[in-house]
Amino acid sequence: MSVTSLMIVGVGGQGSLLASKLLGRLLLNEGYDVKVSEVHGMSQRGGSVETYVRFGDKVFSPIIVKGEADFIVSFEKLEAARYASCLKAGGTIVVNTQQIDPMPVITGAAAYPEDILDELTAKGIKVDAINALALAEKAGSSKAVNIVLMGRLSRCFDIPTEKWLAAIEQSVAPKFVEMNKKAFLLGYNS
Amino acid sequence: MKQLQIGNAAVARGLYEAGVGVVSSYPGTPSTEITESAAKYDEIYCEWAPNEKVAMEVAFGASLRGVRSACCMKHVGLNVAADPLFTMSYTGVNAGLVICVADDPGMFSSQNEQDSRHYAVAAKVPMLEPSDSDECLRFAREAFTLSETFDTPVLFRVCMRTAHSQSIVDTGDRTTDAAKSYEKNGAKYIMMPGNAKKRHPVVEERTARLTEYAENCPFNRVEMGGTKLGIITAGTSYQYVKEVFGDTVSVLKLGLVNPLPVDLIRDFAAKVDRVVVIEELDGVIENHCNAIGVKVEGKSLFSPIGEYTQETVRRAFGIPEAPSVAADTPIPVRPPVMCAGCPHRGLYYVLAKNKVTVLGDIGCYTLGAQPPLSAVDSVLCMGASVSGIHGFNKAGGAETEGKTVAVIGDSTFMHSGITGLVNIAYNGSNSTVIILDNSITGMTGHQQNPTTGYNIKGDPAGKIDLETLCHAVGINRVRVVDPYDLDACDKALKEELAADEPSVIISRRPCMLLKYVKPKSPVHVNADKCRGCKSCMRIGCPAISMKKGKAVIDHTQCVGCDVCRQLCKFDAMESEVR
């Protein structure tokens, strides 16, 4: 009855839906029972967004709560910290080092905690930080941050890279396949 | 074939397999993807109607003609469509008719948290509620047989978590023999008092038969797991119960949530020592249990507020949560914001600057209520800005007329703003209505509407001309402004507020997320010229931040709308040369 729980968190508009689509495709191909839960609508407009991916022999709840996530993939630093409490003891956060100021920081009502990842590490959390934006731009589009992070995440799984690349082919429009594969491999090899 | 689908896509697949021929809906999170997914099947005629009432009546017409039909809406949309619903309960159907309604426990994208099950009880129609995508597909398909067998519209309730969670479904083929012939039958379909009086007993008798059906129907099931604890549950809550308890407790899982069974519940309760009802939002099942004399616990353990999770279930039973670690540093909240380059921003800036009272409405532009713009005074429901400003001005007279506006999006105006505008013209308040025309239904994810000139499939369609429409309902002063042009907006606002008659300002520019809208070169701050005065920060653009006392623009977000440049007194905003 072992179930693996993975959260994708970030800022609305960063492409978490494609990342979860890719994971769903991959895990279905691998023969797992899979549930993916996403939030559409208002929260997408630049707000904090969270997507849950759970897979195993049999998955019931589509939700991940405090202390349950094996992995968190965060598209942004602050969001990694916001959801860190969802992580299981011994879990890993794969995080893009990009900083996107939320509105209270923009208006001066709050400060952005610049050293937040160091604080998480000091708390004993495994933090795997990469500059996914730079790699995405290298692959050809700043929008590919999501797939770069999937590439980095794939190192934590026992699923061969070819399977991930095949799932990319099944998940994105044909004209973006090559760019996304490149982004994936840049993340994987980073 | 096995596929991973969100609940809403699985509902659409169920409609397809049931042989549905007509779907008419109005978009609303979390229901929108049912209709969007249905529109991908060529065999189904799908459309976006101007509102939910129209959609439901279209579905009624199609059912009357003998074609299986559906309409889909969010929970508050069912309020709009309640009028046809209550009387369709009396007429019943010819071909099967299913009304999909998506509730939003937790209010992820909604203005209230109403529980649609009350509508099923009040309108006396059956309601199904799936708990995952597989059930979404199967229940939606079977709902049509239920509808035709019992001659009733069927309500199909999905909650946000089921609607937007992907799980595995097994797809089948489409039924091809669902069509019925049409025969005139006034006693059944003309609901004037003489006929309606004869139909009401039919409805009551139908409810009795449906209750009997509920005792043994395939939508309800018992999973025995010991006699200590029995849980009665429905919808997504079932998943949390199984997540926490697995097979160690007994579960009565209800898929038909109205009418509720009597003997099935009594028998289940008799087999266990303790019965707990776990249902999101209101205690509908719990109240039923109390009414039939079955002792249960429910809302004494669980809140009627918000979305449940497995943690909610654990907490209610005193099961400790998993250990976790959190950062000590406070994490600033990240509320949703209007996108960089959003055409609503410039207009809202002008409203805020002129300190007008703004009666707001439902859409992306509701976000103008957030700091730093904080430009909205009220948001109630679809269309309430236009109706509300009339009441506000009738109450306030000349004192408010010159400094109050209503703002409403193009789609929302089509939905239920027109009648409010008719009222302004007819009953004569000197009100100023601003239609924020971004040429799409934005918040729900870009659906076409009657003003865009395209239908749900993206094919050219009839296009309602807003200027002509406003003139036709009796508004003489109608003008169009570009919300990226702050001076023009300011001038239009001042003139229309000063005018001695009702007026409409159409603030027109397409949503910058539309594929055909090409972003311009990003604006870039010349640090030598920037004095750090923060004028540009007043528009609340997510692309602009202050770094070391100077404004900085994130080039990955900026689309070159130039609104910030109009606010800079020092010419520090420059177009980036690509």
What band does A42 get if pLDDT is binned at 50, 70 and 90? low
Distance, in Å, from the CA atom of B258 to the CA atom of B293, rounded to the nearest integer, reads: 18
Summarize pLDDT for B256-276 with one digit per residue, the tens: 999 999 999 999 999 999 999
Residue A60 is predicted with a pLDDT of 98
Q: What is the pTM of this model?
A: 0.96
* Phi, psi dihedral angles at B37 (to 5 degrees): -70, -40
Does B317 or B442 have the greater pLDDT score? B317
What is the distance in angstroms between the Cα of B6 and the nearest Cα belonging to chain A? 8
- B168 contacts on A by Cβ (under 8 Å): 28, 33-34
Tokens representing A148 are 């770069």
Q: Is the pLDDT of residue A167 over 90?
A: yes
Q: Is the pLDDT of residue B190 over 70?
A: yes
Strand B127-128, strand B256-258: pairing: antiparallel
The rounded percent of chain A whose pLDDT value lies above 70 is 97
Mean pLDDT over each residue of chain B, to the nearest integer: 96
CB contact under 8 A, B326 and A33: no
- Judged by a CB distance cut-off of 8 A, whether residue A28 touches chain B is yes
- Angle at which helices A16-29 and A145-154 pack, to 10 degrees? 40
Phi/psi region, residue B355 (left: phi>0; alpha: psi -120 to 50; beta: rest), is: left
CB contact under 8 A, B545 and A24: no
Under 8 Å between Cβ of B505 and B493? yes
Residue B578 is predicted with a pLDDT of 47
Under 8 Å between Cβ of B85 and B119? yes
Distance of CA B304 to the CA centre of its chain: 20
Domains and CATH numbers, chain B: 2-214 (3.40.50.970), 221-316 (3.40.50.920), 343-508 (3.40.50.970), 523-575 (3.30.70.20)
Distance, in Å, from the CA atom of B298 to the CA atom of B125, rounded to the nearest integer, reads: 24
The rounded percent of chain B whose pLDDT value lies above 70 is 99
- Judged by a CB distance cut-off of 8 A, whether residue A47 touches chain B is yes
Structural element, H or E, at residue B85 = helix B82-91
Q: Is the pLDDT of residue B279 over 70?
A: yes
Q: Is the pLDDT of residue A43 over 60?
A: no
What is the DSSP track for B26-60?
Answer: ---TTTHHHHHHHTT-TTSEEEE-SSHHHHHHHHH
Domain boundaries, chain A: 3-189
The mean per-residue pLDDT over the stretch B369-378 comes to 95
Distance, in Å, from the CA atom of A11 to the CA atom of A45, rounded to the nearest integer, reads: 8
- Judged by a CB distance cut-off of 8 A, whether residue A170 touches chain B is no
Distance, in Å, from the CA atom of B431 to the CA atom of B500, rounded to the nearest integer, reads: 9
- A14 contacts on B by Cβ (under 8 Å): none
Distance, in Å, from the CA atom of B490 to the CA atom of B428, rounded to the nearest integer, reads: 25
Summarize pLDDT for B289-315 with one digit per residue, the tens: 999 999 999 999 999 999 999 999 999
Instruction: Determine the residue among A45, A72, A98, A114 to mutate to test chain B binding: the one whose Cβ has the most chain B Cβ atoms within 10 Å.
Output: A45
Q: According to the CATH classification, is domain A3-189 in 3.40.920.10?
A: yes
Chain A, residues 91-110, CB within 8 A of chain B, namely 100-110
Summarize pLDDT for B68-93 with one digit per residue, the tens: 999 999 999 999 999 999 999 999 99
CB contact under 8 A, B334 and A28: no
What is the distance in angstroms between the Cα of A27 and the nearest Cα belonging to chain B? 10
CB contact under 8 A, B33 and A67: no
- Alpha-carbon torsion (A13, A19, A22, A27), positive or negative: negative
Under 8 Å between Cβ of B363 and B343? no
- A8 contacts on B by Cβ (under 8 Å): none
Summarize pLDDT for A79-133 with one digit per residue, the tens: 999 999 999 999 999 999 999 999 999 888 999 999 999 999 999 999 999 999 9
Complete edge-to-edge strand list for the sheet that includes strand A87-96: A126-130, A87-96, A69-74, A3-11, A48-56, A33-37, B165-170, B2-6
